[in-house]
Amino acid sequence: MTPRWIATGLSQDLPKAVAMAGHWQGQDLAVWRSATGRVQAWNDRCPHRGMRLSHGFVRGETLACIYHGWVYGADGVCKHIPAHPALTPPATIRVAAFACVEQDGVIWVAPADTVGAPVALRGLQPLRSISLTCDVAAVLAVEPALSGGDALRGLVQIGGQACEVCLLVQHNAAGLTLHALCAVGVDRIAASRWVEDLRRRAERKGAA
Amino acid sequence: MIAPEVLNEWYPVAMAAHIRAGQRRVTQLLGQPITVALQGGAIVVTGQGGALHVTEAFGHVWACPGTPAHPLFPIPEALETGRRLVDVGVVRVKCSPLRAVENFLDIAHFPFVHTDVLGAEPHTEVNRYEVQIREDSDEVWATKVTFYQPQAAKSAEGGIVTQYMYRVPAPTAAVLYKTCPVRPDAWDVIGIFVQPLSEDLCDVWPWMALYDDTTPQADLIAFQQMIFLQDRSILENQIPRLLPLDPGMEIPTQADLTSIAYRRWLKKRGLTYGAQMVAA
Ligand code: FES
Ligand SMILES: [Fe+2]
């Protein structure tokens, strides 16, 4: 079954007043953090002329499109059209919003009507996101200690010690992105190297 | 199957000077491989089905893969003495050729895409202008367009209100006339000639005919290239890559009158190569 909540990034990689590209099951999203820190995920397409909103710019609690500067407020409703400063845009001009929550240092997205929360990841700290050009099977093949489908978990050897890791899987056209978390207290540099090494091994396996 | 209306139009395929200098250009037109080369002193464009109709104008080679519905459009200003013709080279863009033309007709993006050059906040307002499809020439025209610009041209010093006229004489070509900073009584003429490689890939040739005797050629080219590369960062990130011709997919405003007329004109004439007809 397809999970509703998909991890699309780590909180640490999205600073205040920044927009980035995300996606949910092939649906491109603009994920952005307002000046006060609120994260939202919207359809990555401006209703005006189709420009990707993930290229836009954040001002305060609004996201503006980079093409003609149309400004969208917290609910995705267009608030301002710079070419017509005196006009109040009709409320029908709005960007479809996805459900978006930040939990355990992970940014999760789901369709707007989703009920319930993403799975809790107790005792884990966010590490890094990494893109791979192979599939999940290749990852599991080179690291048998891991198991799972959309969250790969297990005790792996990092720096000679068994450490708990969790890799949240996000599929994309080129392969997948893994959002890695590891047990609190684990050396982050060593864990980060382990993730890179895992990518190398999995991609070699995937290409074979 | 490509519609005859599309095949019977003229498209830019090469710089004439490059071909005359002995270069061959192996390229594509409407998804088909073509070669542009010099044969016995004449420029010849060859496709899979043989030679295409060819004409030379504005420093470019133009080809028609069908039976030309009409001669290539004129740009009378190109022949005026005192103008410098500047070709800027070619820019490959991953978008519909029609999106490239539409972006060229758009002024509302100046403050956001060409910030502090062709526009700047808070001067974002687009005043009402006039748009018509001229019956005699069957061209889209926008007139009485004005916009505040911090640095309208390489030769401009400081901000001015620039006047524009826009003209679409062919499905993948557009020409604009704008206030000339050094000669208030004359217009600078800038064009883009777009070669449709396929429905969502094009080669764009910016072209200029300016009254500017002082700015070095390299600076003029660099200026226009900078502008166009800024546009490319937009064009390659519009969804969908094809130009939607059916209303409903995108939301235009009064500032988009030229684009609205261009889309209608394309649809009416059946020039739908690079267009998306049904909302996806
Ligand atoms: S495409 Fe977004 S403001 Fe025009
Ligand atoms: Fe532009």
Answer whether A198 contacts ligand 1 (Cβ < 6 A): no
CA A169 – CA A202 distance, rounded (Å) = 14
Q: Are B243 and B99 in contact (CB under 8 A)?
A: yes
Contacts of A43 in chain B (CB under 8 A): none
- Model confidence at B186, pLDDT cuts 50, 70, 90, reads confident
Tens digit of each residue's pLDDT (9 = 90 or more) over A32-89: 999 999 999 999 999 999 999 999 999 999 999 999 999 999 889 999 999 999 999 9
- B280 versus B262: the higher-pLDDT residue is B262
Q: CB B253 to CB A81 under 8 A?
A: yes
* B93 and B55 within one domain: no
How many whole angstroms separate alpha carbon A180 and alpha carbon A192?
A: 9
CB A52 within 8 Å of CB A21? yes
Statement to judge: residues B82 and B49 lie in one domain: no
All residues of chain B having their beta carbon less than 8 Å from the beta carbon of residue A67 are 109, 112-113, 234, 238
DSSP one-letter code for A45? S
List, as one string, the DSSP characters of B163-183.
EEEEEEEETTEEEEEEE-TT-
Q: What is the CATH number of the domain that holds B22?
A: 2.20.25.680
Q: Is A46 in the pocket of ligand 1 (CB under 6 A)?
A: yes
Q: Do A67 and B125 touch (CB under 8 A)?
A: no
Which conformational region is residue B195 in: left (phi greater than 0), alpha (psi within -120 to 50 degrees), or beta?
Answer: beta
Domain of residue B19 covers 1-72
Distance in angstroms (rounded) separating the CA atoms of residues B103 and B112: 13
Interface mutation target, options A67, A70, A77, A78, chain B, most CBs of B under 10 Å: A67
Whole-number Å distance between alpha carbons of B149 and B109: 12
User: Residue A206 to residues A133, A157, A175: CA-CA distances in angstroms?
Assistant: 8, 22, 10
R_g over Cα of chain B: 18
pLDDT mean across residues, chain B: 94
Task: Kindly indicate the confidence band of residue B151, based on its pLDDT and cuts at 50, 70 and 90.
Answer: confident
Q: Please report residues of A whose CB lies closer than 8 A to that of B109.
A: 67-68
Residue with CA closest to ligand 1 atom 4: A68
pLDDT digits (tens, 9 = 90+) for B39-64: 999 999 999 999 999 999 999 999 99
Ligand 1 site, residue A205, Cβ cutoff 6 A: no
A149 alpha carbon to ligand 1 midpoint, in Å? 38
Share of chain B above pLDDT 70, in %: 99
Q: Per-residue pLDDT tens for B68-111?
A: 999 999 999 988 988 988 988 999 999 999 999 999 999 999 99
Are both B32 and B122 inside the same structural domain?
Answer: no
Contact call for A50 and B252, based on CB within 8 A: no
B234 shares contact with chain A (CB less than 8 Å): yes
Q: Could you tell me the two tokens for A18?
A: 């920044």
Q: Residue A174: helix, strand or coil by DSSP? A: coil
A122-126 contacts at long range (C-beta below 8 A, 24 or more positions apart): A123/A164, A123/A183, A123/A184, A124/A164, A124/A166, A124/A181, A124/A182, A124/A183, A124/A184, A125/A181, A125/A182, A125/A183, A125/A184, A125/A186, A125/A188, A126/A10, A126/A11, A126/A12, A126/A179, A126/A180, A126/A181
Q: Which of B47, B45, B51, B52 is nearest to B16 (CA)?
A: B45
DSSP 8-state assignment for residue A53: G
Q: Contact B112/A50, CB-based, under 8 Å? A: no
Per-residue model confidence (pLDDT) at position B279: 57
Q: What value does the mean pLDDT take over residues B235-255?
A: 95
Q: How far is the CA of A177 from the centre of ligand 2 (A)?
A: 34
B168 and B47 in a common domain:
no
Helix (H, G, I), strand (E, B) or coil at B105: coil
Structural domain spans, chain A: 6-110, 124-207
- Whether residue B231 sits in one domain with residue B149: yes
Q: Are B124 and A47 a contacting pair at CB < 8 A?
A: no
Residues with CB under 5 A from ligand 2 (ion): B 231
* Nearest C-alpha in A relative to B113: A67
**Tens digit of pLDDT at every position of chain A (208 positions):** 567 999 999 999 999 999 999 999 999 999 999 999 999 999 999 999 999 999 999 999 999 999 999 999 988 999 999 999 999 999 999 999 999 999 999 999 999 999 999 999 999 999 999 999 999 999 999 999 999 999 999 999 998 899 999 999 999 888 999 999 999 999 999 999 999 999 999 999 988 7
CATH number of A6-110, picked from 3.40.50.2000, 2.102.10.10, 3.40.50.2300, 3.40.50.300: 2.102.10.10
Q: Would you call B253 and A51 a contact, using CB atoms and an 8 Å cutoff?
A: no
Based on the fold, state whether residues B67 and B140 are members of the same structural domain.
no
User: Across the interface, which of A45, A55, A83 has its CB nearest the CB of B108?
Assistant: A83
Does residue B88 sit in the same domain as residue B156?
A: yes
B119 in contact with A, Cβ within 8 Å = no
Q: Based on the domain organization, do B266 and B143 belong to the same domain? A: yes
How far apart are the C-alpha atoms of B44 and B66, rounded to whole Å?
15
- Is residue B54 domain-shared with residue B106, that is, in the same domain? no
Residue B127 at interface with chain A, using a CB cutoff of 8 Å: no
Q: B17 and B88 share a domain?
A: no
Alpha-carbon gap, residue B212 to B178, rounded angstroms: 13
Q: What is the mean pLDDT of residues B5-25?
A: 97
Q: Which of residues 242-261 of B touch A (CB under 8 A)?
A: 244, 249-255
Ligand 1 within 6 A of CB of A57:
no
Q: Which residues of chain B make contact with A83, given a CB cutoff of 8 A?
A: 108, 124-126, 253-255
Q: Cβ(B12)–Cβ(B171) under 8 Å? A: no
Q: Using an 8 Å Cβ cutoff, are A127 and A106 in contact?
A: no
Q: How far apart are CA B75 and CA B209, in angstroms?
A: 10
Give exposure, B213-239, as e/b (b: 16+ Cβ within 10 Å): eebeeeebbebbeebbebbbebbebbb
A28 CA distance to ligand 1 centroid (A)?
Answer: 17
Q: What is the pLDDT of residue A37?
A: 97
**In chain B, where does DSSP find H-type helix?**
4-7, 16-20, 97-104, 110-113, 217-235, 257-269
> In this predicted structure, what is the pLDDT of residue A81?
98
Residues of chain A positioned with their CB less than 8 A from the CB of B106: 68
Report whether B257 contacts B129 (CB < 8 A).
yes
**Contact assignment for A49 to B125 by CB distance below 8 Å:** no
B146 pLDDT tier (thresholds 50, 70, 90):
very high
Q: How many domains is chain B partitioned into structurally?
A: 2
The pTM of this model reads 0.95
User: Which positions in chain A touch B108 (Cβ < 8 Å)?
Assistant: 68, 82-83
| Cα–chain center distance at B80 | 20
CATH of the domain at B85: 3.90.380.10
Beta-carbon separation of B254 and A84 below 8 A? yes
HSE, CB side, 13 Å, CA atoms: give it for residue B264. Answer: 14
Q: What is the pLDDT of residue A2?
A: 62
Q: Kindly state whether residues B58 and B84 are assigned to the same domain.
A: no
Average pLDDT over residues B173-183: 89
In whole angstroms, give the CA distance from residue B120 to residue A107.
Answer: 34
Ligand nearest to the CA of B106: 2
Residue B169 has pLDDT above 90, yes or no: yes
Closest CA to A131 of A168, A93, A185, A183: A168
| B68 lies in the same domain as B88 | no
pLDDT at B253 exceeding the cut of 70: yes
Where a domain ends, among B21, B47, B72?
B72
